[in-house]
């Protein structure tokens, strides 16, 4: 694996620390020029090579990792005149870290196969803190042999690696995880809000829940969740809560495609973010 040249596209809150960890583990990484110079300059200082387009990233790499926001951005990265599929070489691999529909990944895999290129979908969980610590969870769809070939790459960025089946199944699992998480966020917020309104202190509510059957990742990471809310208030749909709503809509679309109804997820998708994660008013 050490000889593999890695291309990384999408240097946001998750992609930037993921690429940083690859460089720190000795991988040769090529990144794509972007108007936001901060992550580019940081990664170049660690040894990354900068090129002008996704197609040039692909041409310089044996494996291309894409961690962009959504399907429209993935379209531009993969299918444009200067996109990955124009520059990629036969025998290379594309790994999708974005949370998108399994059907999209399957169509991309079919298009890539015509060029002799394989595709893995490998969405991640753990949020920014796990990305920075190299402790992400990877949910992977695609050929198991391909996953094993790139296991050292995944291990450089994470600590939990799961193979879920054919292309697209990693995305299915990520949507399942996010539905559980977002539903818990909504219920936990309402419940804690009731306790606050009735007069119990926030630290006491959280202490009891952490020691009781109501405990969850959301309760254990309450401050992280309140920061996500503040991010929304500052950046709107460009922020993390915008990504959450995008993922909810992706899950609902995927559920419809397999004939499953998600009434609770539908309610959560309409939640007013301003009502979530109440903070005590002194």
Which residues are part of the catalytic machinery? 174
Q: How far is CA 195 from CA 51, 111, 203, 222, in A?
A: 53, 53, 11, 15
């Amino acid at each position: 694996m050490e000889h593999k040249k890695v291309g990384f596209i999408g240097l946001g809150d998750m992609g930037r620390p993921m690429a940083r960890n690859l460089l720190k583990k000795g991988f040769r990484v090529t990144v794509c020029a972007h108007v936001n110079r901060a992550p580019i300059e940081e990664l170049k200082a660690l040894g990354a090579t900068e090129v002008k387009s996704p197609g040039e990233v692909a041409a310089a790499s044996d494996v291309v990792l894409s961690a962009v926001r959504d399907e429209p951005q993935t379209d531009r990265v993969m299918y444009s005149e200067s996109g990955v599929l124009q520059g990629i070489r036969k025998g290379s691999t594309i790994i999708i870290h974005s949370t998108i529909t399994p059907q999209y990944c399957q169509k991309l895999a079919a298009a890539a196969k015509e060029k002799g290129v394989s595709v893995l979908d490998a969405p991640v969980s753990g949020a920014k803190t796990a990305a920075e610590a190299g402790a992400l969870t990877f949910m992977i769809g695609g050929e198991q042999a391909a996953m094993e070939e790139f296991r050292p790459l995944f291990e450089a960025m994470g600590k939990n690696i799961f193979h879920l089946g054919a292309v697209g199944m990693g995305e299915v699992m990520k949507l399942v995880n996010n539905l559980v998480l977002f539903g818990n966020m909504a219920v936990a917020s309402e419940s804690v809000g009731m306790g606050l309104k009735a007069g119990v202190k926030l630290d006491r509510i959280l202490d009891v829940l952490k020691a009781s059957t109501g405990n969850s990742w959301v309760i254990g990471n309450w401050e992280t969740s309140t920061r996500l809310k503040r991010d929304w208030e500052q950046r709107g749909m460009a922020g993390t809560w915008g990504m959450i709503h995008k993922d909810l809509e992706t899950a609902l679309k995927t559920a419809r495609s397999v004939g499953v109804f998600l009434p609770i997820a539908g309610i959560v998708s309409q939640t007013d973010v301003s009502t979530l994660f109440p903070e005590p008013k002194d």
